[in-house]
Structures are given as C-alpha cells and as structure tokens.
Amino acid sequence: MARLFVAVRPPPEVVALLAALERPAVPGVRWSTPEQWLVKLRPLGHVRERVVPPLCDALAAELDGAPAVTCRLGPATRRLGGQWLGAPVSGLDDLAAVVFEATEELVPVTHPQPFQADVVLARGRVPRELAGRPVAGSWTARSVALVADRSSPRGARFEDLASFPLEG
C-alpha cells in the first residue's frame, strides 16, 4: 500500500518565489522542502497497488482533452487548522471536481471536506504570526500527476506514478 494523491506542481519560477519567503526557526514548526511544494487536487490516502492501474485509466479518460488551468498564488499565507501554513492557490476548483468524480468510485471519499488548494509551506504547531505574509504569483497548470508519498524519517520523497497532460 502507498499513500497517494492527485496534484499539480508549480513551475520553477513559482518554486523560486516560495523559496524566497522568510522561514524563521520556530519551535514545533517543520518547514517543507521545494520537492513537497505541490497543490493536492485530491488526497487518496493509503491505496493498494492493484488500484493504481484503474486509477490511472480513470484519470486518463476523464482528463483527456481537459483544458490547461490558470493558477493564482496568494494573496497571503494562511494557517490551516493550526497545523499547517499554506500559500493559497485559486483556479483549481473545477479541475479538482473532475478529479474527485473520476476517482471516487475507486477510492471512496470517507472524510468529506471542502476543497482547499494550498501549497503547504510548514507543518506542526504553526503560530498565527506566520500567517498573512504576502505571496503572489501565477502559472498555467499543463499536467496533473498521480503521486505516491514515499517519505520516511530520513526525508520527503514524492514519486510521480503517472502524469496526465492538460490541453492548451
């Protein structure tokens, strides 16, 4: 079993913009690395390996011909549940709805939550003072990835299992 999610990745220029944000040492806060900076369209949780091929087929069929999407980062960082610091990303609601619809039969939604698109910058006991820092940028998402989280205590490791191009 692997922990999977469907996501879009920001391009190098947006990664550079995020890397330029101040990352003060704060007890109980773990800053994420650029490899972890992506926007989850749908977390899938722990999924058996045998479900991966049908997931890929479902996503490929549903995203075939889907248009590229303009993503807007910002306007400011925000706390998410007190446990994460995120940079909000707008423009992905429709794409996320398509991804949920394509995958729901194979991986049922067990904990429905409203969709929120963010690049997670930090985890842990995130103090309020870290939220509200200006961050702005935009990019065109030209693909969607099915990603396996193979992280360990030694570090983060995300592996793209499949990529699905968006038109335009």
Query: For the domain that residue 41 is a member of, what is the CATH number?
Result: 3.90.1140.10
Q: Beta strand pairing status for 84-90 and 118-124? A: antiparallel
pLDDT tens per residue across span 53-97: 999 999 999 999 999 999 999 999 999 988 999 999 999 999 999
pTM value is 0.92
Domain that holds residue 148: 2-165
Name the percent of the chain lying above pLDDT 70.
99
How many residues can be counted in the chain? 168
pLDDT tens per residue across span 108-132: 887 667 788 999 999 999 999 999 9
Q: What is the predicted pLDDT for the residue at 1?
A: 83
How far is the C-alpha of 69 from the C-alpha of 31, rounded, in Å?
28
How far is the C-alpha of 140 from the C-alpha of 159, rounded, in Å?
22
The encoded tokens of residue 96 equal 């996320």
- As for how many domains the chain has, the answer is 1
Asked whether the bond before 75 is cis by omega within 30 degrees of 0, the reply is: yes
Count Cβ neighbours within 10 Å for each residue of 35-69 and write b for 16 or more, e otherwise.
ebbbbbbbebeebeeebbeebeebbeebbeebeeb
Q: Mean of the pLDDT values across residues 155-160?
A: 88
The encoded tokens of residue 30 equal 């773990």
Q: What is the predicted pLDDT for the residue at 166?
A: 97
